[in-house]
Amino acid sequence: MSIQLIRQAFNGNRPPPKMWRSHELKEYYDVVIIGGGAHGLACAYYLAKEHGITDVAVLEKSYIGAGGSGRNTAIIRSNYLTSEGVRFYNQSVKLYEQLSDELNFNVMFSQRGHLTLAHTDGGVNTMRRRAEVNQIEGVDSRLIFPDDIKSLCPYLDVSDHPRYPILAALYHPPGGIIRHDAVVWGYAHQADVRGVHIHQNTEVTGIKVQDGKVTGVETTRGHIKTGTVLNATAGWASTITAMVGVKLPLTTIPLQACVTEPLKPFLDVVVVSGSLHVYISQTDRGELVMGASVDPFSSYSMAGSLAFLEGIAGHVLELFPSLSHVRILRQWAGICEMPPDYSPIMGFTPVNGFLIDVGWGTYGFKASPIAGKTLAELIATGKPPILIVPFRLSRFEENDLVGEKGAAAVGH
């Protein structure tokens, strides 16, 4: 029990402390971060905490966490295909493991284990490939077979199913789920405590560039002078980057999710099926949170579709036939900016002082702590940390794409 709560319990009418404050827009900030999601706020926090850079504004056009940070299905894992991906996300998981303590805010990271199912021989091979790469990189991850799958997740149908038999699964014990909003609020609070200005309802309308260098930002609340701008706007990244005349290799596509009514706990692991395009977990409150692959066409619209609900219901029942009476309570959508190689784009752009933290596709939330930390280091030192070098924008021109694409497409 925290002292804070006990104090709050017996303090009678005294208002609880503010998590973050409101400020007038200053004329100048050392660093302006566009996007008040988990990435932007984490970067602000690490800038202040690790580099002593506190003259930072985080500009959010809506409320903090309104975008992908509050719309994802809150799955954390590091069992990627490439060494670059595994190393990067492994650091992220390690930061997440310490995050409640670091932020003094329980983000409820539940490392309950993560299962990726394989339904074909090719799928089994890909899972084995990932397990091997993971193990070599020191990440707990292994291939398991139906008996073990059944004992971890009794409700899965591991029978000799005609259409999508479960042949094996990649089991990743440290993977799990988290309370995504809490991550946003925790970072926002600790950034605020260190002097960062969080400006909600402040939309960027333009970026000033002189002689190839950023000089300021126009907002709906006025002009800000600055020499360093970080674009951490995820789905909207292309629209912000277009303000400095740079084109990105991104396509914005909605990603949808839904949640059921609360049920007594019966699903203890996160279950993912690539072939069936579904992932499912049960929150601590008992709801099933379910997501699918990105929508079939690009859009900035966050209106969900019926086709998504129909598809995911069919696929969930394919895996868990006993859930046919379970009711969907709510659906929603977020937007993702998909890069061609399913890997982020982080760091410098041709415009001096304009940095990007984009290309986060469907895997951005998982990376929030490490993305924030490495970008803070880049901003503070001017040197890209080794972990994010593979993710530079110039890789596309250099024909040096990241290999995560290898596993993502082509399914013979």
Partner 1 sequence: MLLLTCPNCGDRNVSEFRFGGEYGPRPKDPSATSDAEWANYLYMRHNVMGAQTEWWHHSDGCGLWFLAERYTRTNEVIKTFPYVKRDA
Partner 2 sequence: MRDGVSPHFAIIYQVSGAVIGELMQTEQDTLKTTPNRLHPKQGEVIDRSTTIRFTFDGVKYIAHPGDTVASALTAAGVKVLSRSFKYHRPRGLLCCAGHCPNCLVQIGDEPNVRACMRSVEAGMDVRAQNVWPSLNRDLLSLTQLGSRLMPVGFYYKTFIRPKKLWPLYEHTLRHAAGLGEVDIDTPSGKFDKQYLHTDVVVVGSGPAGISAALGAAEGGAQVLLFDENSALGGHLRFTVPLHSSLPSQVSKDLPELLEALSQQPNVTAFTDTSVLGWYQDNWLCAAKGARLFKIRTKSVVVATGAYETPLIFDNNDLPGVMLGSAAQRLLHLFGVLPGRQVVIVTANEDGWDVAADLQALGVNVAAIVDEREHNACSSPYRDGLANIGVPVFYRHTIREAIGSSAVSGAKIVRLDGRGEIAPATTQVLQCDLIVTSMGWTPATELLYMAGGKSEYSADRAETVPVSTPPGIYVAGRAAGIHAVDSQITEAWQAGSNAATFAGFGEFDELAAQASDISEPRRTSERVCVPGKKKRFVCYCEDVTDEDVETAIAEGYDSIELLKRYSTISMGPCQGAMCSMNTIHLCARANGRTVQETGTTTARPPIAPVTLGALAGQNVEPVQTTPIHQWHLDHGANMMVAGLWLRPNHYGDPAAEAVCVRKQGGLIDVSPLGKLQLTGPGVPKLLERIYTNQWHNLRVGRVRYGVMCNDEGVVLNDGVCAHLKDETWYMTTTSTGATAVFEWLQWWLQSGWGEGVHLTDLTDTYAAFNLAGPQSRTVLEKLTARNLANKAFPYMRIRSAKIADVPCQLLRIGFTGELAYEVHCPSGYALHVWEALMDVGRELGIAPFGLEAQRILRLEKGHIIVGQDTDAMSDPLSANMAWAVKLNKPDFLGKPSLMRISAEGPKQLLVGFKMVDPDVVPAEGLQVVAPEVDGRLKIIGWVTSSRFSPTLEEAIGLCWLPADLASQNGASFTIRMGGDLKAAHVHHGAFYDPSGERLRM
Distance linking the first and last C-alpha atoms of the chain: 54
The reply on whether position 45 binds partner 2 by CB under 8 A is no
State in angstroms the smallest separation of the CB of 211 from partner 2.
33
Rounded Cα–Cα distance for residues 355 and 380 (Å): 12
Rounded CA-CA distance 142/144 in Å is 6
Q: Compute the residue count for the chain.
A: 412
Which residue do the tokens 């069992």 mark? 79
Choose between 16 and 206: whose C-beta lies nearer to partner 2.
16
Nearest to 182 by CA among 118, 121, 128, 109: 109
**How far is the C-alpha of 393 from the C-alpha of 242, rounded, in Å?**
15
Q: Can residue 242 be called a binding residue for partner 2 (CB under 8 A)?
A: no
Tell the smallest beta-carbon distance from residue 91 to partner 2 (Å): 16
Q: Binding partner of residue 125 among partner 2, partner 1, none, CB under 5 to 8 Å per kind?
A: partner 2
User: Looking at 44, 224, 323, 367, which residue binds partner 2 (CB under 8 A)?
Assistant: 323
Query: To 10 degrees, the CA torsion angle through 389, 59, 181, 109?
Result: 30
* Binder among 25, 193, 313, 389 for partner 2 (CB under 8 A): 313
Instruction: Let me know: does 234 contact 336? Beta carbons within 8 Å.
Output: yes
CA angle 62/58/254 to nearest 5° reads: 45
**Cβ closest to partner 1, residue 54 vs residue 305:** 305
Least distance from partner 1 to the Cβ atom of residue 354, Å = 16
Choosing from 179, 197, 366, 395, the residue that interacts with partner 2 (CB under 8 A) is 179
300 binds partner 2 (CB under 8 A): no
SS3 (DSSP) at 129: helix
Binding site for partner 1 (CB under 8 A): 236, 238-239, 242, 247-252, 296-301, 303, 305-307, 337, 340, 396-397, 399
Q: Which of 67, 70, 85, 334 binds partner 2 (CB under 8 A)?
A: 70
Could you say which DSSP state residue 28 is in?
B
Q: How far is the CB of 31 from partner 1 (least distance, A)?
A: 25
Quick one: what does residue 239 bind among partner 2, partner 1, none, with the CB cut-off 5 to 8 Å set by partner type?
partner 1
CA distance 194 to 180: 22
Q: Which of 73, 110, 241, 362 binds partner 2 (CB under 8 A)?
A: 110
Binds 296, which of partner 2, partner 1, none (CB < 5 to 8 A, cut-off by type)?
A: partner 1
- Give the range of 44-52, 347-355, 372-380, 397-405 binding partner 2 by CB under 8 A: 397-405
> What track of x and - describes contact with partner 2 for positions 183 through 222 (by CB under 8 A)?
--xx-------------x----------------------
> According to the binding rule CB under 8 A, does residue 169 interact with partner 2?
no
**CB of residue 358 vs partner 2: minimum separation in angstroms?**
21
* Least distance between partner 2 and beta carbon 154 (Å): 7
76 burial via Cβ count (<10 Å: 0-12, 13-18, 19+): buried
325 near partner 2, judged by CB under 8 A: yes
How many C-beta atoms lie closer than 10 Å to residue 343's C-beta? 25
**Which option in partner 1, partner 2, none does residue 155 bind, with CB closer than 5 to 8 A by kind?**
partner 2
Q: What are the CA-CA distances from residue 166 to residues 69, 116, 144, 320, 351 (Å)?
A: 31, 10, 11, 12, 49
Q: Which is nearer to partner 2, 165 or 227 (CB)?
A: 165
Comparing C-alpha atoms, which of 103, 106, 96, 94 is closest to residue 192?
103
Task: Tell me the closest approach of the beta carbon of residue 47 to partner 1, in angstroms.
Answer: 28
Q: Is 380 in the site for partner 2 (CB under 8 A)?
A: no
Cα–Cα nearest to 191, from 372, 375, 8: 372
CB 117 within 8 A of CB 169: yes
Among residues 296 and 321, whose Cβ is nearest to partner 2?
321
- Minimum CB distance to partner 1 smaller for 136 or for 303: 303
By a kind-dependent CB cut-off of 5 to 8 A, residue 108 interacts, out of partner 2, partner 1, none, with: partner 2
CB atoms within 10 A of CB 220: 12
> By C-alpha distance, which of 255, 278, 243 is closest to 360?
255
Alpha carbon distance 328, 367 (integer Å): 29
